[in-house]
Amino acid sequence: MLLPMSPADSIFLMVESREHPMHVGGLQLFVPPDGADSEDVRRMFQQMVGADDVRPLFRRRARRSIATAGLWGWDEDGAFDIEHHVRHTALPRPGRVLELLALCSRLHGNLLDRHRPLWEVSVIEGLADGRYAIYFKIHHALVDGVSALRLVQSSLSDDPDERDMPPPWAARPKTGDAPGASPHGLIDDPAGALRSALSIAAEAAGLPGALVKTVSRGLRDQAAPLSFSAPKTMLNVPITGARRFAAQSWPIDRIRRVAKAGDATLNDVVLAMCSGALRAYLHGLDALPDVPLIAMVPVSLHVDDHHREGGNAVGVVMCNLGTNIADPGDRLAAIHASMTDGKAAMSTMSPVQIVAMSAIGLSPLALAQLPGVQSMFRPPFNLVISNVPGPRAPLYYNGARLDGVYPLSIPVDGQALNITCTSYSDALAFGMTGCRRSVPHLQRLLGHLDAELDALEHAAGVS
Amino acid sequence: MLLPMSPADSIFLMVESREHPMHVGGLQLFVPPDGADSEDVRRMFQQMVGADDVRPLFRRRARRSIATAGLWGWDEDGAFDIEHHVRHTALPRPGRVLELLALCSRLHGNLLDRHRPLWEVSVIEGLADGRYAIYFKIHHALVDGVSALRLVQSSLSDDPDERDMPPPWAARPKTGDAPGASPHGLIDDPAGALRSALSIAAEAAGLPGALVKTVSRGLRDQAAPLSFSAPKTMLNVPITGARRFAAQSWPIDRIRRVAKAGDATLNDVVLAMCSGALRAYLHGLDALPDVPLIAMVPVSLHVDDHHREGGNAVGVVMCNLGTNIADPGDRLAAIHASMTDGKAAMSTMSPVQIVAMSAIGLSPLALAQLPGVQSMFRPPFNLVISNVPGPRAPLYYNGARLDGVYPLSIPVDGQALNITCTSYSDALAFGMTGCRRSVPHLQRLLGHLDAELDALEHAAGVS
């Protein structure tokens, strides 16, 4: 029996092509518990593959037929094949993070098999430092990026001694004793996360209207704070199917100290790091425009714990990144001013809508599918920079400590680079996903981000 | 500048979809020379990626545009990126052939990036026995399966002491002293192989006509030896994008002894092994039809060394596999009779045509693109079983001995399983490529092949 799919979800199937895989991804790094031997990852993999009670969300696949008049729906995969979805792989020597990022770049560029439930997980061994990694990939039609992070992290525990924990796709054997939710964040509430994930279709149903509304306003009302003249850059071109992924973490405390000294928010400093890194990167390729780059930045408006299930209020700010300003301190001040101005004019959306919007990036590609938007001659912005708050307490999976979480997002035509940040414990992780051809030497951005944080600390007098 | 692409080559681009990647592959296993250490594979990879003189064939990519009226052509990739094409990867523990086949299954199911030259190579380390592997993948529009094997093997040497050998995609630094060609086979003639590869477009130009002619005759003339009523089986269904690959070698001497005792050809015994294995496999899934399966078998007609460049005469036999016969000896006799009868009615084609034909499998999918063939209600045959002769002498790459070569072919709608065999040195390798969903438990065929060879030896009294 075919269950209906919301039009918002089916957009991700309709606009997908070999150049535009519409899946989000995540990379988790784990430190095995003391005394773990080299066979433990293999045993963990076998246990994961052996999970026999797979949640309905992970068993359903997208289908359409003549009988549905070509509309997409969901049905259950009658020949569900866990070994297709969960893979065991390894890094070649010397097993550095470099090899891990190269593997994730390749995995993220491959299309999911549409005849099956739209998710894959790779358990990755072979890091020289003894850690292991898990890369997961979920189609945006099945679950949005935030809910994907929630779902995966809902399978973790804050108890390092907990064992016999099932993988994220397995139904929980015990329902009564959900681990205690911490007071902050969207992600560290397993029970709520599961309910949220299952109500995504309903939540996302308002997406196309919100998208069209926001973009139309930006296009029509050129004087409004929402609209900018984003320059054409090398990032705003048609893209190819291959991907490059780079990721690194920095201590939140360093970023917080710069924010405090500059009377800015933590997110302002994140944007300033991105701005400085993009400036250096584009300058190095002789491709820095004279006018500043514009980033679309989703920001949190209110945090009201009582209405979490109904969706937090989240807004979009079109942020002038000040990439034309040479001085790091001046650039941070400009970004802070732009964000402060922008928040006044924000429209509100649910978190699911905002993530969906970030993912399809308001690209002409996606918008051409929507009613009311025909074409655009300039990019409405140059890239999406989002920052998804994560859990503050250390998390564990069967005794292995989660050491880092790095998001992989979706570049599209016109938006060849996406930057997504997520916090976890005492670090802030930057995940940059780009088209391999349009964004060459993507990994240089890591060095530029590092240099920019140094420069910001120096400018703020906190280095 | 866009160079023209022959209509025959562009068919492989036109019929390709996410369910039907149109690339062929090969898996090579190497034994490192004595004294090689674990860093050698990494050094080899770095040397391969460092090759700066890449042959034009490996730099060209497929393009079409409004300017070409949508027709496909070739141009040079102006931003050729060797690290996209040549990858370093590793097997997870315990590093058995099982893990290697699982990796190849996954790699073979992923589409090539059409914005780039249509090939990829993975250097694979981590086999527990100390061997390393190379998996290569080349689009059929760029080069057909036989020529792909030739090209790759033309980079090998019969001299175990030769070093500083370039990878297959690099132009040879020395042109004067091509290694001595052995007297037999299509493959072990590097100079000829290269010339052949470069003239593929011309050779394959006659393909669509030959295809239509052969199929039309089979359909119209129901009394001719070419036509059979192949049963509908689980192998003759629409397919999905994921693949399963299984491969194993057996000593040619064992197969030859059975052939001699049964007054049959070596190829007859190969077909009998496949037949017995398919019978056991289908029986185990309660899916064995009452009427015998029909295989399309390309066979060599003449071997005329003086006309090799112009293409050997190769024919197609529709072979009654006798899968309804329980006794292995009787089945071999039936296959031998069917092959003998069939050869009298063969049409002739060039080797390039026959490989192209094998690859697209005369499926309704491919044929729907061809003029003159509209639809078919039964499969013209149940699967393609081909046997490509390989080099008899051991080959080496920078001192590492080539231990085995396994072909990966192209399942298509209606032909969910392909069996391709190739000989090398004293072994015959069977490579089976199937749709992961339509051909479950594909690896069982390996055990069935092994049991069938035992049974044939027993029946022939040579065990």
ipTM given for this complex:
0.72
Torsion sign (Cα): A125, A128, A132, A133: negative
Residue A222, min C-alpha distance to chain B (Å): 34
Residue A358, min C-alpha distance to chain B (Å): 25
pLDDT at B119: 93
Which is nearest to B387 in space by CA: B345, B435, B339?
A: B339
pLDDT at B367: 45
Helices (H) and strands (E) in chain B, counts: 15, 16
- Minimum CA–CA partner of A241 in chain B: B113
> Measured between beta carbons, which residues in chain A are less than 8 angstroms from residue B111?
18, 110-111, 241
Residue B246, min C-alpha distance to chain A (Å): 15
- Minimum CA–CA partner of A132 in chain B: B92
Q: Which residue has the higher pLDDT, B154 or A284?
A: A284
Please judge whether B111 and A116 are an interchain contact, meaning their C-beta atoms are less than 8 angstroms apart. Answer: no
Exposed / middle / buried, residue A181 (Cβ in 10 Å: 0-12, 13-18, 19+): middle
Of A425-439, B29-43, B196-210, the range with the highest mean pLDDT is: A425-439
- Minimum CA–CA partner of B132 in chain A: A92
> Measured between beta carbons, which residues in chain A are less than 8 angstroms from residue B110?
110-111
> Measured between beta carbons, which residues in chain A are less than 8 angstroms from residue B114?
18, 241
Please judge whether B115 and A242 are an interchain contact, meaning their C-beta atoms are less than 8 angstroms apart. Answer: yes
- Out of B18, B42, B79, whose CB is closest to A437? B79
Cβ atoms B259, B458 nearer than 8 A: no
Residues B44-63 pLDDT 10s? 999 999 987 898 888 989 98
Residues B346-380 pLDDT 10s? 555 555 554 444 444 444 444 444 444 434 445 67
Please state whether the peptide bond connecting residue B94 to the residue before it is cis, i.e. omega within 30 degrees of 0: yes
DSSP A217-248: HHHH-TTSTT---PPP-TTSS---S-EEEEEE
The residues pairing with A127 across neighbouring beta strands, listed in sequence order, are none
- Rounded Cα distance, B457 and B274, in Å: 15
Catalytic residue among B140, B306, B307, B336: B140
Please judge whether A92 and B41 are an interchain contact, meaning their C-beta atoms are less than 8 angstroms apart. Answer: yes
Please judge whether B126 and A90 are an interchain contact, meaning their C-beta atoms are less than 8 angstroms apart. Answer: yes
> Measured between beta carbons, which residues in chain B are less than 8 angstroms from residue A39?
93
- Minimum CA–CA partner of A90 in chain B: B92
Give Cα separations from A185 to A138, A149, A303, B387 (angstroms).
Answer: 22, 12, 9, 61
pLDDT at A216: 44
Give residue B448's pLDDT band: very low, low, confident or very high (50, 70, 90). Answer: very high
- Rounded Cα distance, A395 and A397, in Å: 7
- Minimum CA–CA partner of B98 in chain A: A88
Please judge whether A92 and B18 are an interchain contact, meaning their C-beta atoms are less than 8 angstroms apart. Answer: no
Please judge whether B42 and A92 are an interchain contact, meaning their C-beta atoms are less than 8 angstroms apart. Answer: yes
Mean pLDDT of B186-210: 36
- Out of B84, B93, B437, whose CB is closest to A242? B84
Give which of A89, A101, A285 to mutate to test B binding, by max B Cβ within 10 Å.
A89
Q: What is the residue-averaged pLDDT of chain B?
A: 78
Residue A327, min C-alpha distance to chain B (Å): 34
Give residue B200's pLDDT band: very low, low, confident or very high (50, 70, 90). Answer: very low
Q: Which residue has the higher pLDDT, A150 or B310?
A: A150
Residue A240, min C-alpha distance to chain B (Å): 6
Q: Taking 70 as the threshold, does the pLDDT of residue B307 lie above it?
A: no
> Measured between beta carbons, which residues in chain A are less than 8 angstroms from residue B115?
19, 240-242, 437
pLDDT at A24: 83
- Between chain A and chain B, the number of residue pairs with CB atoms below 8 A apart is 103
- Out of A38, A93, A437, whose CB is closest to B42? A93
Name the percent of chain B lying above pLDDT 70.
73
Please judge whether B241 and A106 are an interchain contact, meaning their C-beta atoms are less than 8 angstroms apart. Answer: no
- Out of B42, B93, B116, whose CB is closest to A38? B93
Residue A91, min C-alpha distance to chain B (Å): 5
- Rounded Cα distance, B99 and B96, in Å: 5
Please judge whether A79 and B437 are an interchain contact, meaning their C-beta atoms are less than 8 angstroms apart. Answer: yes
Q: Does this model's pTM top 0.90? A: no
Per-residue pLDDT of chain A (463 residues; tens, 9 = 90+): 678 777 667 777 877 888 888 888 889 999 999 888 878 899 999 999 998 789 888 899 998 877 777 788 888 998 899 999 999 999 999 999 999 999 999 999 999 998 899 999 999 999 999 999 999 998 888 876 556 666 767 788 999 999 989 898 887 654 433 343 333 333 333 333 333 333 333 333 334 444 444 444 444 443 333 445 788 899 988 888 899 999 999 999 999 999 999 999 999 999 999 999 999 999 999 999 999 999 988 776 544 444 333 334 456 678 899 999 999 999 999 999 998 877 765 555 555 554 444 444 444 444 444 444 434 445 677 888 888 777 888 999 999 999 998 988 888 777 899 998 988 999 999 999 999 999 999 999 999 999 999 999 999 999 8
Exposed / middle / buried, residue A202 (Cβ in 10 Å: 0-12, 13-18, 19+): exposed
- Out of B92, B110, B440, whose CB is closest to A90? B92
Give which of A43, A106, A119 to mutate to test B binding, by max B Cβ within 10 Å.
A106
- Rounded Cα distance, B331 and B325, in Å: 6
- For chain B, the residue count is 463
- Out of B18, B94, B123, whose CB is closest to A111? B18
CB-based contacts of A17: which residues, under 8 Å, 6+ apart?
none
pLDDT at B209: 42
Residue A113, min C-alpha distance to chain B (Å): 6
Residue A358 φ/ψ, nearest 5 degrees: -60, -40
> Measured between beta carbons, which residues in chain A are less than 8 angstroms from residue B127?
none
Task: Give strand ranges (E) for A220-347.
Answer: 243-251, 294-300, 314-320
- Out of B92, B110, B436, whose CB is closest to A89? B92
Residue A400, min C-alpha distance to chain B (Å): 19
Give residue B91's pLDDT band: very low, low, confident or very high (50, 70, 90). Answer: very high
pLDDT at A200: 36
- For chain A, the residue count is 463
pLDDT at B344: 62
pLDDT at B155: 82
- Minimum CA–CA partner of A238 in chain B: B115
Strand B383-388 relative to strand B417-424, pairing: parallel
Which is nearest to B239 in space by CA: A97, A219, A348, A114?
A: A114
> Measured between beta carbons, which residues in chain B are less than 8 angstroms from residue A126?
90, 92, 126
The CA-CA-CA angle for residues B130, B132, B136, to 5°, reads 170
Residue listed under structure tokens 């996209």: B84
Q: Taking 50 as the threshold, does the pLDDT of residue B34 lie above it?
A: yes
H or E segment and range at residue B359:
helix B351-360
Cβ atoms B404, B28 nearer than 8 A: yes
pLDDT at B211: 44
- Minimum CA–CA partner of A240 in chain B: B115
> Measured between beta carbons, which residues in chain A are less than 8 angstroms from residue B139?
none
Catalytic residue among A140, A184, A306, A441: A140
> Measured between beta carbons, which residues in chain B are less than 8 angstroms from residue A114?
18, 240-241
Catalytic residue check, B140: yes
Please judge whether A90 and B88 are an interchain contact, meaning their C-beta atoms are less than 8 angstroms apart. Answer: no
Q: Could you count the other beta carbons within 10 Å of the beta carbon of residue A125?
A: 24
pLDDT at B144: 60
The DSSP letter of residue A412 is B
> Measured between beta carbons, which residues in chain B are less than 8 angstroms from residue A436?
81, 84
Residue A325 φ/ψ, nearest 5 degrees: -100, 130
Two tokens, residue B128 = 């527990």
- Out of A115, A436, A437, whose CB is closest to B241? A115
> Measured between beta carbons, which residues in chain B are less than 8 angstroms from residue A93?
38-39, 41-42, 90, 125
Residue A88, min C-alpha distance to chain B (Å): 6
Conformational region of residue A95, where left means phi above 0, alpha means psi within -120 to 50, and beta covers everything else: left
